[in-house]
Amino acid sequence: MNLKSLCIIVLLLSFYLLPHGAGAADVRGTIKYRQNYMNAISGHTGALRRLKDGLFSAEGHLQMHAEALAKLAGDITLLFPEGTSLGKTDAKPEIWENWADFEARAAETQQAAQALLDAVESGDGAAIDARFGEFTDTCKACHRPFRK
């Protein structure tokens, strides 16, 4: 083997074996984005709790947070593309090993967020309390098996 073909082989190998610059940045960006997104869900959830408990009151805010949660909860699975289990993440590899189960947990959160929005629109305080509790239970139901 001459030097030139050796160089080509080394170049090709390094291309396949080393993490690609853009790919690594995408993974980092995706992990950061999903953590921001989860914190947005958490922020709306905490804000809604304060409002429903009467600790603060502002026209339309209960509705605003409930609508945001119904939207955000619908796209959780998009935040977990394959290949984003490594790096500064608390996502467990089990997510991708049990994807159907993970999707089912996300669907439960989506349904619970919609039920919470319906309760908020009905204006029934007892129903809002009940649906809120069920909604936050669905966060734990996913975090327990799938988050470090």
User: Does 76 interact with ligand HEC (rule: CB under 6 A)?
Assistant: yes
Q: Are 21 and 94 in contact (CB under 8 A)?
A: no
Closest contact distance (angstroms) between CB of 32 and ligand HEC is 9
Give the number of other Cβ atoms within 10 Å of residue 44's Cβ: 21
Question: Of 12-20, 55-63, 121-129, 134-142, which part binds ligand HEC (CB under 6 A)?
Answer: 134-142
Q: What does the block give as tokens for 142? A: 């996913």
Among 10, 12, 24, 42, binds ligand HEC (CB under 6 A): 42
Among 102, 75, 104, which Cα is nearest to 91's? 102
Distance of CA 38 to the CA centre of its chain: 5
Report the half-sphere exposure of 147 (CA within 13 A, side-chain side): 11
User: Does 28 interact with ligand HEC (rule: CB under 6 A)?
Assistant: no
- Sign, CA dihedral 90-99-80-23, equals positive
Question: Of 7-15, 88-96, 114-122, 123-131, which part binds ligand HEC (CB under 6 A)?
Answer: 88-96
Closest contact distance (angstroms) between CB of 26 and ligand HEC is 14
Among 27, 34, 48, 132, binds ligand HEC (CB under 6 A): 34
For residue 55, give the amino acid letter: L
User: Does 146 interact with ligand HEC (rule: CB under 6 A)?
Assistant: yes
Between 79 and 127, whose beta carbon lies closer to ligand HEC?
A: 79
